[in-house]
């Protein structure tokens, strides 16, 4: 007959297994993606062509910690929140 400690161990291993699976399938990839996004936003430079999360394509004219000025046509410039930059456009 199993002891009380053995019963506790037998009852808790499925929960521990679920925690490990949760970590490797959800938490770790999300952290990796978050770090890549933070790196992208920190590496923005004047003159780069970017696409916002709303689909606006433009060239960075100036940057601050919170905002980016995008030139979207010859005479049109818009101010967007830095976090709204979705990706750097390929050349």
Average pLDDT, the chain: 93
Report which secondary-structure segment, H or E, holds 85: strand 85-88
Q: Supply the pLDDT for residue 63.
A: 95
**Tokens read off for 9:** 């161990």
The pTM (predicted TM-score) of the whole model is: 0.71
Q: What is the DSSP letter of 83?
A: G
Q: What is the pLDDT of residue 51?
A: 97
Structure tokens given for 61: 């004219």
3-state secondary structure of 38: helix
Within 8 A by CB and 6+ apart from 56, the residues are 70, 72, 78, 80
What mean pLDDT comes out for the span 75-79? Answer: 96
Give the mean model confidence (pLDDT) for residues 35-46: 95
């Amino acid at each position: 007959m199993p002891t009380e400690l053995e019963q506790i161990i037998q009852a808790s291993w499925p929960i521990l297994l679920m925690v490990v699976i949760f970590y490797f399938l959800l938490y770790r990839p999300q952290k990796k993606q978050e770090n890549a996004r933070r790196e992208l936003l920190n590496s923005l430079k004047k003159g780069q062509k970017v696409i916002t999360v709303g689909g606006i394509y433009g060239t960075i004219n100036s940057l601050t910690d919170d905002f980016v000025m995008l030139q979207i046509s010859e005479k049109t410039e818009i101010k967007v929140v830095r976090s709204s930059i979705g990706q750097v456009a390929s050349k």
